[in-house]
A and B are shown apart, each in its own frame.
Chain A
Amino acid sequence: MQHVTWRFHRPVVACLVTAMALATAACGDLGASNGTGQFPSRNIEIVVPYPAGGPTDTVARALADALNKGGKLNGHRAQVTNLSGAAGASAATYVTSARQDGHTLGVFPNSAFTIQSLLKDQPYSMDGFDFLADAARGGLVVVVPKQAPYDTFQQFGEAAKAAPGRLTIGNPGSANLSETEARLVLDASGLPARVVNFEGTAPAMTAMLGGNVSAVITALGSVTAQIESGELKGILFIGEAPEGSVLADIPTLAESGVPMASALPESPNLVVVRKDVPEAAKTTLRDLITAAASSAEYKDVINGMGMKIPLTSPEENLAMLQAELNWYTTSGNHLCGGGKNAETPLCLAWTRRPGA
Chain B
Amino acid sequence: MFNDLLAGFGDALQPEYLLLALLGVVIGTLTGVLPGIGPVGAISMLLGLSPAVGPTGSLILFAGVYYGSMYGGSTTSILLNIPGEANSVVTAIDGYEMTKRGRAGAALTVAALGSFIAGTISILALAFATPVLGDLALKFGPPEYFALSVAGLLLLCILLTGPLWKSLAMVFLGLMLGAVGLDSLSAEARFTFDTIELSQGIGLVPLAMGLFGVAEVLSVAQQVRHGRVRRPKAPRLRDLLLTREEARRSAGPIGRGSVLGFVMGLIPGPATLTSTFVSYVLEKRLSRRKEEFGKGAIEGVAGPESANNSAAAAAFVPLISLGIPFTPVMALVLSALLLNGITPGPQFIDQHGDLFWTVIASMFVGNLMLLVLNLPMVGLFTRVLALPVQVLMPMILVFVLVGAYAANNTMWDVTVMVCAGLLGFVLTKYGFHMAPLLLAVVLGPTLENSLRVSLSIANGGFGTFVTRPISGAILAICAAVLVARLVWLLSRRVRRTAGNGDTGSATPTTATEPDSSTRVLSERSNQP
Contact = CB atoms under 8 A, between A and B. Distances in A.
Same complex for A and B? Answer yes
Interface in B312-370: 318, 322-326, 328, 331-332, 334-335, 338-339, 341, 343-347
A5 B388 contact: yes
A85 interface: yes
A210 B324 CA distance: 13
A61 interface: yes
A52 B344 CA distance: 17
Nearest to B454: A212
Interface in A170-215: 173-175, 194, 196-200, 202-203, 205-207, 209-213
A340 B34 CA distance: 53
Given A52-B47, A57-B335, A61-B48, A206 B324 contact: yes
B395 A16 contact: yes
Contacts of B141: 207, 210-212
**Which bracket fits the contact residues of A?**
35 or more
Contacts of B456: 194, 196-197
Interface in B81-96: none
B457 A53 contact: no
A4 B380 CA distance: 11
Nearest to B50: A61
Interface string A4-26: 11001101100110111011011
A225 B324 CA distance: 11
B403 interface: yes
B184 A22 contact: no
A345 B325 CA distance: 27
B268 A202 contact: yes
A53 B457 CA distance: 28
B142 A11 contact: no
Contacts of B339: 58, 61-62, 65, 301
A8 B185 contact: no
Contact of B338 (A165, A301, A345, A349): A301
Contact of B182 (A9, A65, A87, A212): A87
Interface stretch (B132-140, B241-249, B496-504): B132-140
A90 B334 CA distance: 25
B274 to A, nearest CB: 16
A210 B51 contact: no
B66 to A, nearest CB: 13
A84 B199 CA distance: 11
Contact of B323 (A8, A19, A93, A225): A225
Contacts of B388: 5
Contacts of B36: 19
Interface string B119-144: 00000000000000000011111100
A305 interface: yes
Contacts of A90: 196, 200
B516 interface: no
A11 B75 CA distance: 14
A325 interface: no
A86 B196 contact: yes
Given A8-B387, A196-B457, A224 B343 contact: yes
Contacts of B184: 173, 199-200
Interface stretch (A127-135, A226-234, A252-260, A270-278): A226-234
Nearest to A116: B187
B30 A18 contact: yes
Interface in A289-343: 297, 300-301, 304-305
B451 interface: no
A104 interface: no
Given A4-B386, A9-B387, A173-B185, 19 more contacts: A8-B387, A16-B398, A16-B399, A16-B402, A26-B41, A52-B43, A52-B331, A53-B332, A53-B335, A86-B196, A86-B199, A93-B196, A197-B186, A197-B456, A199-B185, A199-B449, A231-B347, A304-B341, A345-B186
Question: What are the 4 tightest A-B residue pairs by CB atom distance, in nearest-first order?
Answer: A345-B186, A53-B331, A225-B345, A85-B200
29 contacts: A4-B386, A5-B387, A8-B380, A9-B391, A18-B30, A18-B34, A20-B402, A51-B331, A52-B47, A53-B331, A53-B334, A61-B48, A65-B339, A86-B200, A119-B187, A174-B186, A197-B186, A198-B185, A200-B184, A203-B142, A203-B268, A206-B268, A206-B322, A211-B141, A212-B457, A225-B347, A228-B343, A231-B345, A304-B343
Interface of A: 1, 4-5, 8-9, 11-12, 15-16, 18-20, 22-23, 25-27, 51-54, 57-58, 61-62, 64-65, 79-80, 82, 84-87, 89-90, 93, 119-120, 123, 165, 168, 173-175, 194, 196-200, 202-203, 205-207, 209-213, 221, 224-226, 228-229, 231, 297, 300-301, 304-305, 345-346, 349
Interface of B: 30, 33-34, 36-37, 40-45, 47-48, 50-51, 137-142, 182, 184-189, 196, 199-200, 268, 318, 322-326, 328, 331-332, 334-335, 338-339, 341, 343-347, 380, 383-384, 386-388, 391, 395, 398-399, 402-403, 405-406, 409, 445, 449, 453, 456-457, 459
